[in-house]
Amino acid sequence: MIIPMRRPEGAAAREMEEKELREYLENIAKEVRWDIVRMIGLAGSGHPGGSLSCADILVCLYFHKMNHDPGRPDWRHRDRFVLSKGHAAPALYAVLARSGYFDREELWKLRRLGSMLQGHPDRLKTPGVEISTGSLGQGLAAAVGMALGLRMEGNPAHVYALIGDGESQEGGIWEAAMLAGHQRLRNLTAILDHNGLQIDGRCCEVLDLGDIASRWRAFGWEVLEVNGHDVLEICCALDKADEFDRPGMIIAHTVKGKGVSFMENNVDFHGKAPTPEEMEKALKEIEGS
């Protein structure tokens, strides 16, 4: 079972553990980015930009924070994760494979006919996927429903949801946010992959969300802001959210296409697979990082 890491007492011990934790998580994130690029490249289809931007977040969730058991995907007391921005499925698949939910070789069958790995998460096909997502704006509502249900039955499990920038322009996000705030769902934490880009360009030009932190606070949420590529900042924020008496929002400032120079902050790679030549270039770049 993968459980949260406990830090020993004492400043020196904490410093040593933090160094080891950073190295551990960064190494996994590097492997996950390599897998993301290769699976999308082989498929010739997919969304590399937003998958790469959220890789560090998912690694921190699955390898530091969440209580989950790959051997028992239906374990009643597992923490739940909802990928509301379902087009970033390659990041989730890579993390699930690395966690042990299925064989890593399945990654290279992404989007193939009959594969367990669809272009967007499918709970009926993929072990470890809690709910099918892809229609933007709906995943957070499902996470709110999960959190309400768990609280009603006295289940201590926590629900985590990852949402996107462009997705935050959907009305359904704010309906769900309003309900969660009203119900003071302390067993719910949402993370915003705040990379500033969506399929049509810069979010601030398509439909500006303004002061996004203030918006979430206005809906009754506690808000933290972190560097979405600093694994220790992410882990600390996830741990801090446990102390809230209401739902928590972690705004993770990220870079679209993070880890591949020609994809970073390049909206063209929102939903475009790399060519075989670009894939090889990207893989070598990640290996050398």
pLDDT in tens, the chain (289 residues): 333 334 444 555 566 688 999 999 999 999 999 999 999 999 999 999 999 999 999 999 999 999 999 999 999 999 999 999 999 999 999 999 999 999 999 999 999 999 999 999 999 999 999 999 999 999 999 999 999 999 999 999 999 999 999 999 999 999 999 999 999 999 999 999 999 999 898 999 999 999 999 999 999 999 999 999 999 999 999 999 999 999 999 999 999 999 999 999 999 999 999 999 999 999 999 999 8
pLDDT at 55: 98
User: pTM of this prediction?
Assistant: 0.94
**What digits encode the pLDDT tens for the residues 232-265?**
999 999 999 999 999 999 999 999 999 999 999 9
Q: Are 25 and 58 in contact (CB under 8 A)?
A: no
pLDDT at 218: 98
| Alpha-carbon torsion (253, 69, 77, 96), positive or negative | positive
**What digits encode the pLDDT tens for the residues 32-54?**
999 999 999 999 999 999 999 99
Per DSSP (E only), the strands in the chain are 80-83, 159-164, 188-194, 197-198, 201-202, 222-227, 248-253
Look up residue 220 and give its two tokens.
Answer: 């009754």
The CATH code of domain 11-287 reads: 3.40.50.970
d(CA 46, CA 50): 10
Show me where the domains of the chain are located. 11-287
Q: Angle at CA 203, nearest 5°, toward 199 and 207?
A: 110
